[in-house]
Amino acid sequence: MPVQIIVGAQWGDEGKGKIVDHLSEKVDIVARYQGGANAGHTVVLPPLKGGSEREFVLHLIPSGIFHPRVKCVIGNGVVIDPKALLEEITMLRSAGIDIRGRLFISHNAHLIMPYHKKLDSIREQGEQKIGTTGRGIGPSYIDKYMRTGIRVVDLLDRDVLCKKLKFNIEEKNELLRKVYNAEELDLDAIINEYQEFDKEIDEYVTDTARYLSEALRKGKKILAEGAQGALLDVDHGTYPFVTSSNPTSGGACTGLGIPPTSVTDVLGVVKAYSTRVGNGPFPTELNDEMGERLRSIGGEYGATTGRPRRCGWLDLVSLRHSIMVNGISRIAITKLDVLDDFDEIQVCTAYLVDGKPIDHFFTDVQTLERVKPVYKTYRGWKTPTSGVRSYRNLPRRARKYLEALQRSLKVKISMVSVGARRDQTLIVR
C-alpha cells in the first residue's frame, strides 16, 4: 500500500481528521494535498495523567502529527496562510508535540497574503457571494493560475519577495481603490511581516515532491489527506458553490507530485447524514425541527468559522457521484451515534426531476436546485452506540442500515465511528 488517499465524500466536515489520526498508526507519512486554512480537522486525544481529554483543531498541518513516528507534509497544492500556520505550530509546541524534523512544507506551495483575505471578504459582500470561509482561498488560487502568485520559496530571497509583492500590491491597490472603493494596503508592512514568517518556517521548507518520491522508493507508506469534500471540488462539485481546489482523489497527485500509479486505495469518509456550510444546492436539506435536531446532537457548527452547518439526510445519489469521480474503494462512516435517538432515519435513493426518477447526480446547479429527493425510510435503533467497541455489537437495526448503504453504493464499509475519541472506531472485518 504505497499511497492511500483519504477524501471527504460529501460537502466536507465528514470527520476526516479523526479517521486520518486513526489510520496514521500504520503509515510513515501523512501528506495534505490541497485547500488551506479553510479546513478544520478535529482530533480528540486521550487525557494525559490526571487530566481531561484534549481536543485539537488543525487547519493546515495533517492530523498525523499526533503520532510521534509519523512525518507530515504540506504539499505544493496547498495554499498557506503563514499566520495560521505559525499559530498551529505554536499550539502544537505548547501541547508538547515535537514537530522538529517531522514537518515538511513544499517550497512550491502558494502563500495567502493579506490582500487575498481582504478581497475574499469584499467579494462575499456582493451579489455573487457563495458563503466562503473568508480565508482568502479563492483569491490566492486566482493568483496561482494567473502566474502572479507568491510561493513559499519566494520568502527566502528578499529581493524576489519585494519585486513580486510590489507588483501584486500595486495591482490589488488599484482594484481595491477603483472597483471596491476600499482602503489600500501598505507594501512595507507586508514585506516585514512576511520576512518574519520566513525565519520561523525556514527549517521546514523543502522540495516535498522529491521527499515523497524518495520515500516511495524506500517502500514507505503514505497517506494523502484531502480537505473539504468531493462535492466542493472546483471541477466535480456543485460549481460555483465550491472551493477553489480539487479535494477529489486526482488532486492528490497534482497537489503532492506523486504518480497515479503509486495509489493503491481511496478511502471515502461519509457522515451518516449530510451537512453543508455556505451557499449552494442541498437536495436533502431539512429546514425543520429534524434538521435542528441533527445540528444540535451532531454539534454541527463549523470548526473554522463557527457557522451553523445546514443539515439533512444522507444522499446516496450524490455519494454515487463521489464514488465515481474519486474511485472510492472503501468507506468510513462517521457520526453514526448522532442517529441513535431517531425513530426513523431517511435515506435519499433517487431524485425526481420533472416527475421522473433519476439515479445520477447533477453538477449543474440549475438542475440540482430543482430535484426532489426520493426517500427510503429505516426504523431507528433507539439504543446508544457510543459505548459499542465492535461492529458486531452494534444494534441489529444499525447494522441493517449500514449494510443497506453498502449494498446500494456497491462499496465496502470498512470503518464505523461512533464518537470523537480514538477508541470509538469500529473496524468492519
Q: Which of residues 112-131 bind ligand IMP (CB under 6 A)?
A: 130-131
Indicate the Cα dihedral angle 299, 303, 305, 310, nearest 10°: -40
Judged by CB under 6 A, how many residues of this single chain contact ligand IMP?
21
Residue closest to 406 by CA, chosen among 326, 300, 320, 324: 320
The secondary structure of 370-390 as a DSSP string is T-EEEEEEEE---S--TT--S
Q: Assign 346 to helix, strand or coil.
A: strand
Q: How far is the CB of 428 from ligand IMP (least distance, A)?
A: 26
Q: Name the residue nearer to ligand IMP (CB basis): 326 or 385.
A: 326
Q: Name the residue nearer to ligand IMP (CB basis): 76 or 385.
A: 76
Q: How far is the CB of 286 from ligand IMP (least distance, A)?
A: 18
Distance separating alpha carbons of residues 429 and 420, to the nearest angstrom: 21
- 138 binds ligand IMP, rule: CB under 6 A: yes
Residues 202-241 vs ligand IMP: string with x where CB under 6 A?
A: -------------------------xx---x--------x
Among 7, 234, 277, 323, binds ligand IMP (CB under 6 A): 277
Phi-psi region of 207 (alpha: psi -120 to 50; beta: other; left: phi over 0): beta
Q: How far is the CB of 281 from ligand IMP (least distance, A)?
A: 11
13 annotated active-site = yes
Q: Assign 368 to helix, strand or coil.
A: helix
Amino acid at 207: D
Q: Name the residue nearer to ligand IMP (CB basis): 287 or 390.
A: 287
Q: Which residue is nearest to ligand IMP (CB)?
A: 278
Q: Which residue(s) pair with 375 in the sheet?
A: 348
Amino acid at 97: I
Phi-psi region of 426 (alpha: psi -120 to 50; beta: other; left: phi over 0): beta
Question: Is there a contact between 241 and 131 (Cβ–Cβ < 8 Å)?
Answer: yes
- 347 binds ligand IMP, rule: CB under 6 A: no
Among 278, 291, 312, 373, binds ligand IMP (CB under 6 A): 278
- Whole-number Cα distances in Å, 59 to 31, 35, 84: 13, 9, 8
Q: Which residue(s) pair with 71 in the sheet?
A: 29
Selected catalytic residue, list 21, 41, 59, 315? 41
Q: How many Cα atoms are found within 13 Å in the side-chain-facing hemisphere of 393?
A: 12
The H or E element that residue 131 is part of is none
Q: Name the residue nearer to ligand IMP (CB basis): 2 or 134.
A: 134
Q: Name the residue nearer to ligand IMP (CB basis): 280 or 342.
A: 280
233 annotated active-site = no
- 176 binds ligand IMP, rule: CB under 6 A: no
- 14 binds ligand IMP, rule: CB under 6 A: no
Q: How far is the CB of 89 from ligand IMP (least distance, A)?
A: 20
Q: How far is the CB of 265 from ligand IMP (least distance, A)?
A: 23
Q: And the C-alpha cell for 321? A: 457521484
Q: Name the residue nearer to ligand IMP (CB basis): 59 or 102.
A: 59
Residue closest to 316 by CA, chosen among 333, 341, 299: 333
- 39 binds ligand IMP, rule: CB under 6 A: yes
Give the distance, in angstroms, between the CA of residue 103 and the centroid of all CA atoms in the same chain. 19
Among 10, 76, 132, 417, binds ligand IMP (CB under 6 A): 132
Q: Name the residue nearer to ligand IMP (CB basis): 24 or 274.
A: 274
Question: Is there a contact between 227 and 34 (Cβ–Cβ < 8 Å)?
Answer: yes
Q: Which among 34-42, 160-168, 191-199, 366-374 is the span making contact with ligand IMP, rule CB under 6 A?
A: 34-42
User: Which residues sit at the interface with ligand IMP, rule CB under 6 A?
Assistant: 11-13, 38-40, 130-133, 135, 137-138, 227-228, 232, 241, 243-244, 277-278
- Which residues are the active-site residues? 13, 41
